[in-house]
């Protein structure tokens, strides 16, 4: 029998699902079967696992998937404090025991994790949400709307980054002696990156004073003596764009907007 025949059969169906999680160069593979399954030369480990129903709907944002695992399953470890910096992709395969044909039934990414006693529920959204794009977003405003170091900003992150060594860590506050030579707030609004388990982790910098760098969330995998790279932030004003980055040619705001609105109803403009 073919996969399609067994899928609709009431007595011959024997479904097994395979779950492949990917983050960077790392991969975790699990199966809902009672024993490990080998597929495409990869071993899928049998774990206690359940999922919600896979729905087809006209509204892309509501076609998500929830997967429940034991909280000690390796893939959920980095979701304990905050979602990891890199996207965790998920592909769900479905096959029937003894049938070589395998079908992809769901693809997407893991958004977050909800901890419930001895279990954790992963909230996932389908790959089709990547089709959602922001429309016209430019406004007639004084400050620059460009994403710092983005394609429209064109400020070079390589030129302005600062590499240092971690002196100490206290919660979300990291001491980086290399940052002490910059004015207070120089790195605020920027971000810090470091390597942990083969993955480049990233956290936003919310405050900077002397050698003290305050991150938006706890830094997973960062240790004393490790190398960290700091990227300066920007307040999106013309003066900062020029003095800090020398990038006023690419400034996207309108800093010389008249302070008086000509359409405000005043008889004298």
Alpha-carbon span 263 to 269, nearest angstrom:
9
Q: What is the pLDDT of residues 165-224, one digit of tens each?
A: 999 999 999 999 999 999 999 999 999 999 987 788 899 999 999 999 999 988 888 999
Both tokens of residue 208?
A: 């900077």
Both tokens of residue 230?
A: 């700091």
Residue carrying structure tokens 């389908």: 126
Domains of the chain: 9-131 (2.40.10), 157-233 (2.40.10.170)
Beta-bridge mates of residue 201: 194
Q: What is the pLDDT of residues 247-264, one digit of tens each?
A: 999 999 999 888 777 777
The number of residues making up the chain comes to 269
pLDDT over 60 at 60, yes or no: no
Return all residues near 178 (Cβ < 8 A) that are at least 6 apart: 162, 163, 164, 165, 211, 230
pLDDT over 90 at 265, yes or no: no
Average pLDDT over residues 124-138: 71
Distances (CA, A) of 99 to 15, 18, 129, 144: 10, 14, 32, 57
How would DSSP label each residue in 105-162? EEEEEEEEEEEETTEEEEEEEEGGGGG--------S-SS--SPTTSTTT---HHHH-E
Give the per-residue pLDDT at 257. 87
Contact (Cβ atoms closer than 8 angstroms) between residue 28 and residue 199: no
pTM for the model: 0.69
Name which of 97-101, 135-139, 155-159, 176-180 the model is least confident about.
Answer: 135-139
């Amino acid at each position: 029998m073919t996969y399609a025949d067994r899928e609709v059969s009431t007595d011959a169906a024997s479904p097994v699902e395979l779950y492949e999680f990917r983050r960077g160069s790392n991969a975790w593979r699990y199966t809902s079967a009672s024993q490990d399954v080998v597929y495409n030369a990869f071993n899928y480990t049998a774990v206690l696992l359940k999922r919600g129903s896979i729905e087809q709907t006209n509204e892309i944002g509501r076609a998500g998937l929830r997967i429940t695992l034991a909280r000690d399953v390796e893939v959920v470890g980095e979701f304990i404090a905050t979602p990891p910096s890199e996207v965790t992709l998920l592909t769900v395969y479905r096959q029937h025991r003894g049938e070589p044909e395998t079908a992809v039934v769901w693809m997407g990414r893991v958004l977050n994790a909800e901890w419930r006693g001895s279990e954790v529920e992963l909230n996932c959204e389908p790959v089709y949400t990547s089709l959602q794009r922001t429309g016209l977003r430019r406004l007639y405003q004084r400050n620059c709307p460009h994403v710092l170091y983005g394609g429209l900003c064109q400020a070079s992150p390589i030129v302005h980054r600062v590499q240092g060594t971690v002196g100490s860590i206290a919660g979300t506050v990291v001491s980086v002696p290399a940052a002490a030579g910059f004015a207070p707030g120089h790195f605020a609004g920027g971000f810090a990156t470091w390597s942990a388990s083969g993955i480049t982790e990233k956290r936003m910098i919310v405050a900077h004073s002397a050698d003290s760098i305050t991150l938006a969330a706890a830094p997973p995998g960062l240790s004393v003596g490790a190398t960290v790279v700091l990227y300066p932030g920007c307040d999106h004003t013309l003066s900062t764009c020029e003095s800090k980055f020398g990038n006023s040619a690419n400034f996207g705001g309108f800093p010389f907007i008249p302070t008086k609105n000509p359409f405000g109803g005043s008889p004298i403009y």
